[in-house]
Chains A and B, each alone.
Chain A
Amino acid sequence: MASSSAVERLQALESIEKEIAAVLQNAGLAVQELCKDKPNERQLDRHTGQFLKSLQDVESGLSQEINYLTQVATGQPHEGSSYSAQKETQMALHRVEHAKKRLADLNTVCTQGPQQ
């Protein structure tokens, strides 16, 4: 099963949101066309076709996402974390800071001489 990353899925959901807005816009354009004194049938057909197509896209996109979630979701919360690696990195940075401080002290002693 090809699994796309979370970023791609979220971007797909973003584009579905834009598509929903397009559904409403196309519906509005179709009705607006009807309001005119001389409605252009071809325009009306075009807007209605676009409305139906975008609605179909929204429905298929969302069912796809819901299907994917049906396959990967469990009832348990995720309990993994990167805390241990974070702690070790923090300690390594502390070691570096400590070494810097001691070198700075040594530099002071070497340049200014010992304090009596």
Chain B
Amino acid sequence: MSQQRGITQSKESLLKSYNKRLKDDVKSILDNFTEILKAAKVEEQNQVSTLTQSDQARYEMHVRAANIVRAGESLMKLVSDLKTFLILNDFPSVNEGINQRTQQLKAIQAECDTKLLALRDDMAADLYDLEEEYYSSRYK
């Protein structure tokens, strides 16, 4: 049984935009790489001279390679956005983190109080002697 919580409109559109960015960037990398490989094919003489043709192919490859790098950087940014979103909105792990911290702090507090109570019990015994000494001296 899947328990889907209601997501607000903005969160839903944000996650959709993440999906879209992912698909677009992956498609861009794949397409540009395929086109580079296609452009590497040596063609027969066309209307323009070989030099112009090779210049054009080189320019096209530069542009496509730059596109691949741009899409790669855009994917990195997407990963960074996902990390931020995960840290802020992944409620199960945030709750777990808060619980762990609370238990840690409660353990420290319980240890402090236990030791203070043990100290109090020891001091009660010693104070008996100290009080006797004090009240039988000339300084009281």
Which A residues lie within 8 Å of B106 (CB)? Answer: 85, 88-89
Given A62-B78, A114-B139, residue A82 in contact with residue B98 (CB < 8 A)? yes
- The answer on a CB contact under 8 Å between A3 and B19 is no
Number of A residues whose C-beta is below 8 Å from B?
48
Give complex CA distance A74, B5 in Å: 7
Given A6-B97, A85-B105, residue A74 in contact with residue B8 (CB < 8 A)? yes
- The answer on a CB contact under 8 Å between B26 and A66 is no
Q: What 1/0 flags go to B58-96 for Cβ under 8 Å of A?
A: 000000010011001001101100110111111111111
- The DSSP consensus for interface residues of chain B is helix
Give complex CA distance A47, B73 in Å: 21
Q: B7 at the A/B interface (Cβ < 8 Å)?
A: yes
Which B residues lie within 8 Å of A66 (CB)? Answer: 15, 18-19, 22, 82
- The answer on a CB contact under 8 Å between B7 and A74 is yes
Given A85-B101, A85-B105, A96-B116, residue A73 in contact with residue B7 (CB < 8 A)? yes
Number of B residues whose C-beta is below 8 Å from A?
55
Which B residues lie within 8 Å of A31 (CB)? Answer: 36-37, 40, 65
- The answer on a CB contact under 8 Å between B11 and A99 is no
- The answer on a CB contact under 8 Å between B97 and A75 is no
- The answer on a CB contact under 8 Å between A74 and B30 is no
Give complex CA distance A59, B30 in Å: 12
Give complex CA distance A38, B91 in Å: 56
- The answer on a CB contact under 8 Å between A6 and B86 is yes
Given A16-B79, A96-B116, A114-B139, residue A80 in contact with residue B105 (CB < 8 A)? no
Which B residues lie within 8 Å of A114 (CB)? Answer: 139
Given A5-B93, A73-B15, A92-B113, residue A59 in contact with residue B26 (CB < 8 A)? yes
Given A66-B15, A74-B5, A78-B91, residue A27 in contact with residue B97 (CB < 8 A)? no
Q: Within residues 37 to 89 of chain A, which ones have a CB less than 8 A from any CB in chain B?
A: 51, 55, 58-59, 62-63, 65-66, 69-75, 77-78, 80-82, 84-86, 88-89
- The answer on a CB contact under 8 Å between B95 and A80 is yes
* Closest 10 pairs between A and B when the two form their complex, measured CB to CB: A75-B8, A6-B93, A85-B105, A92-B112, A92-B109, A82-B101, A85-B102, A89-B105, A89-B109, A82-B102
Sampled A-B contacts (25; CB under 8 Å):
A5-B96, A13-B82, A20-B72, A20-B79, A30-B33, A31-B65, A58-B26, A62-B82, A63-B19, A66-B19, A66-B82, A69-B90, A72-B89, A72-B92, A74-B5, A74-B91, A78-B89, A80-B95, A82-B105, A84-B102, A85-B102, A89-B108, A89-B109, A92-B109, A96-B116
